[in-house]
Amino acid sequence: MDRLGPNIHELLKLNEKNFPISTVAKLMVEMISRLEEFHNCGFLHRDIKPDNFCLGGKNLKDIYLIDFGLSLSYLD
């Protein structure tokens, strides 16, 4: 967690709850992609909110899904 940057909720607060539509579109594509990867592993996240997506990587360009406390396996 220390290596990750701010979460999406913190970024919204910093930008006075206003993102350009292009930013929203890019974020949504990446967030859906992360959820799809997690779902393909046989799990449901069950706690989707802006607080659970963090920026990280070089220049904070990657999005990470966090907080798997409510996650549930849906495959036997």
42-67: pLDDT as tens digits: 999 999 999 999 999 888 889 999 99
pTM of the model: 0.86
CATH class for the domain made up of 8-73:
mainly alpha
Given a cut of 90, whether residue 15 has pLDDT beyond it is: no
2 annotated active-site: no
Domain residue extents for the chain: 8-73
pLDDT of residue 38: 95
From the candidates 47, 62, 67, 76, give the one annotated as an active-site residue: 47
Q: 2's torsion region: left (phi>0), alpha (psi -120 to 50) or beta?
A: alpha
Contact 3, 53 (CB under 8 A): no
pLDDT of residue 21: 94
Contact 69, 7 (CB under 8 A): no
